[in-house]
Structure 1
Amino acid sequence: MPQGVPPGGPKKKPWRKILYEKQAYPDNYTDHNIFLKDLKKNIDFHEVSFLEACLGANLVLQEFCTVVFFAVVYMYMVSRWIESWVLLYGMTFTGFVCFVFYRCIRLGKTPQEFTIDRKKHSLGHDVRTVLTFIAFGQLFSPVLHTLTDTISTDTIHTMAFLMFIVHLVFFDYGVPAAIVSKSVSLSAAIFASICLASRLASASEAFVLLALATQLFALSPILRNLFNHHPIITAILFLIDLHFLLLISSVGAVLFLSAVFLINLICPVLFVKYQKHKDNIYGPWDEAVVKDVDNIRF
C-alpha cells in the first residue's frame, strides 16, 4: 500500500510531483508508479563481439609487452649482458627515426590543423625539450642512482613490480572511465624505473635506463596512438619479448606466454560470455553527472 494512505480512509487526490501546492501526503512520499516510470536499463548498450573484445584486449597486451620489454632490458643491463653505450646508440637511432616519422605524419594534416599543431609543438620546442632532458638527466642521475641504496634489492624489485601494476591499471586505453589517470600511470612507471636504476653499476647506466623509460612510457604511447595501437605493433613487441625471455629463462617465457594467453584470449571469451548479464539501472535517483568537465569555468 502506498505510504501515507490510511486503510479504509477517504480517497485522496492523486499525488503529483510538484512543490507549489500543499498535498495530503508526507514530504517524503513518492508514488511508486511514477517513480518507476522513469526507470531505464542498460542505456546505449552495445553487444561486443569476440573480435571487438580481442581488439580491446590488444591495447592492454601492447602496454603489458612494453613493460615486459623494459624489464628484459633491465635484466640484461644488471647482468652485464649488454653495454649501456650500445643501448644508448640504439635508443638514439630508434628515437630519431620515430620522431621523424611522427613529424611527417603531423605534416600530413590539413593546413589548418597543422598550423595549430605547429604553434603548440614546433621543432624548436621539441629540440629544447630533448636538450633539457639530457642536461637534467645527466645532472640528477648520480642522485637518482644512490636514492635507494639503503633498500634491499628484493624490496626494490617488489616495489617496481607493484608500481608497474599501478601503471597498467591506470593507463589510458582509450575508454572513458573514472579510474583512468595518465599522470598516475606515468608517475608509477617512472618511479618503478628509478627504483630499478638504483640497482645498476653506475650513474651513466641509470641515465640510460631512465631515458629508455621515458621513451617507452611517455613518448611511445603518443606515436602508438597515431596508429590506433595497431595489432602489428603488439605482435612485434610480443616476438621481441619472447625471444629475449627465452634466452634468459624458459620459466619466464612460459609465464609470459601464460599472461598473454590470459589477456588476449581468456579475458575476451569471459567478457563476451558474461556481458548478457549486464544490468545497469538508471532513474531519477541517480546523481547528476557533468558530461563535459573541460568546458566548466569557475
Structure 2
Amino acid sequence: MAAGVKSWKKILYEDQGFPDHYVDASFLDELRKNLYTRTYDYWTVVIESGVIVQQLCSVCIFVVVFLFMDMQLLQAETLVSVSGGLCLLGYLVHCLLTSVGRIQSDRSFADDLKTFLIFAGFSYCLSPILVSLTETIATDTIYAMTTVMLIANLLFHDYGTSAPMVSGVLSLNAGLFASVCLASRLQTTLHSFATVTFAVELFALWPALRRNLRQAVSCCHVLMTTLVAMVTLLLVSCISLTATVLLALAIVFITLLCPAWLIWLQTYKNNIHGPWDEAAIQQ
C-alpha cells in the first residue's frame, strides 16, 4: 500500500473517508463455502423414503376401500370388524412398547377408552347426517374436493422433518374432510360410519403407530414399508391394472430414483458464508 494512503477497516463507528458500501479485497478473506453441507448415503435415504411410501399407500388403501364399498364388493359390517380388529392389534402393540419402556406415554387405559367411546358415539350418531350432507352437490365436485384434500394430506403430512409447510393437524383434517365427502356418497349410515372411522385409523392412529415402531424397533421400518406396499399393490390390482402399474412406478421413483437425484444435486450445492451473515449471539 502506498505511503499516506489510509487503510480501510471493517468498522462503523468512525468516518474513514470511504463510501458506506465500500469494501476492500480483505473482505472476502472470510468467505467460506458449504460449511454445513450434509453428506447423504444412498441406502440411508432409500430407507428414509419409506415414510413417504407408507403414507401414499395409506391414501391408496382408503380410496380402494371406498370403491369396494361403492361397488358393493365390501360390506360395511366387514370393514367395521376388520378395522376394529386391526385397531385393537395396534393398541396392543402400543401398550407392549410402552410397557417395555421403548416409548413414553402419559395416557392411561381409561383415557384411551374414554376417547374411543366419545369418538365412536359421536361418529355413529352423526352418520345419518353424513349420508345426506352433500345431496345437492354434484358427484364430480365431491370427487374433485376429495382429490384435493387427499393431495393436501400427502403434502402437509409430518414425515419426520422440520419444514415450514409441515402441519400434522392440517394433514389430518384434510384426510378426514375427504372421508366425509366420500362417506356422503355411500348407501347407508353404517357405510358412512365405517368410512369415517377407517379414515381416522389410517390418517391419525396408523401414522402415530408407525412413528412409535420406527423409534422403538428401527429394523422393522423396511419390513413394514415392503409389506404395506405389497398389500396396497394387491388391493389396487383388483380395481385397475393401469393404476397398479402407475402406483408401482411411483413407489420405484420415490424409493430408488429420488434418493439418487438428491445425492446428484448435492454436487451443485454452493452456499456461501462470510462477514455479511447475520450476527449470532453466543451465550
Structure-1-length-normalised TM-score: 0.84
Residues of 1 paired with 2:228 and 2:61: CA distance?
8
Residues of 2 paired with 1:236 and 1:274: CA distance?
30
CA deviation string 1:38-81 (max 9, x = no partner):
44332332221221221122111111111111111111011110
Residue 86 of structure 1, CA deviation: 0.7
Q: Secondary structure at the match of 1:230?
A: helix
Residues of 2 paired with 1:65 and 1:122: CA distance?
31
- The aligned amino acid for 2:38 is H
- The aligned amino acid for 2:17 is A
Equivalent in 154, 159, 167 of residue 173 of structure 1: 159
Q: State the match for 2:18 in structure 1.
A: 25
Moved more, 133-142 or 59-68: 133-142
CA deviation string 1:17-49 (max 9, x = no partner):
243x344334x3352545434443323322212
Equivalent in 210, 219, 226 of residue 235 of structure 1: 226
Residues of 2 paired with 1:286 and 1:139: CA distance?
58
Would you say the 8 A contact 1:53–1:272 is kept in 2? Answer: no
Q: Does structure 1 residue 79 correspond to structure 2 residue 65?
A: no
Q: Secondary structure at the match of 2:170?
A: helix
Equivalent in 50, 54, 57 of residue 58 of structure 1: 50
Moved more, 139-148 or 255-264: 139-148
RMSD in angstroms over aligned alpha carbons? 2.4
Alpha-carbon spacing, 1:15–1:160, altered in 2? closer, same or farther (3 Å): same
Residues of 1 paired with 2:237 and 2:245: CA distance?
9
Unpaired runs of at least 5, structure 2: 215-219
Q: State the match for 1:295 in structure 2.
A: none
CA deviation string 1:208-263 (max 9, x = no partner):
11101111111111111122270211111111111122222211211211211221
Q: Secondary structure at the match of 1:248?
A: coil
Residue 90 of structure 1, CA deviation: 0.8
Q: Does structure 1 residue 187 correspond to structure 2 residue 173?
A: yes
Equivalent in 110, 117, 120 of residue 131 of structure 1: 117
Q: Does structure 1 residue 214 correspond to structure 2 residue 207?
A: no
Q: State the match for 1:105 in structure 2.
A: 97
Would you say the 8 A contact 1:61–1:234 is kept in 2? Answer: yes
Q: Secondary structure at the match of 1:121?
A: coil
Q: State the match for 1:294 in structure 2.
A: none
Would you say the 8 A contact 1:65–1:234 is kept in 2? Answer: no
Q: Secondary structure at the match of 1:219?
A: helix
Equivalent in 9, 27, 52 of residue 15 of structure 1: 9
CA deviation string 1:65-103 (max 9, x = no partner):
111111111110111101001110111111111101101
Unpaired runs of at least 5, structure 1: 1-7, 291-298
Identity %: 32
Would you say the 8 A contact 2:8–2:24 is kept in 1? Answer: no
Alpha-carbon spacing, 1:195–1:230, altered in 2? closer, same or farther (3 Å): same
Residue 149 of structure 1, CA deviation: 2.3
Q: Secondary structure at the match of 1:48?
A: coil
- The aligned amino acid for 1:157 is Y
Residues of 1 paired with 2:120 and 2:250: CA distance?
35
Residue 289 of structure 1, CA deviation: 8.6
Alpha-carbon spacing, 1:284–1:250, altered in 2? closer, same or farther (3 Å): same
Alpha-carbon spacing, 1:135–1:254, altered in 2? closer, same or farther (3 Å): same
Q: Does structure 1 residue 93 correspond to structure 2 residue 85?
A: yes
- The aligned amino acid for 2:234 is H
- The aligned amino acid for 1:136 is F
Would you say the 8 A contact 2:32–2:272 is kept in 1? Answer: yes
Q: Does structure 1 residue 156 correspond to structure 2 residue 142?
A: yes
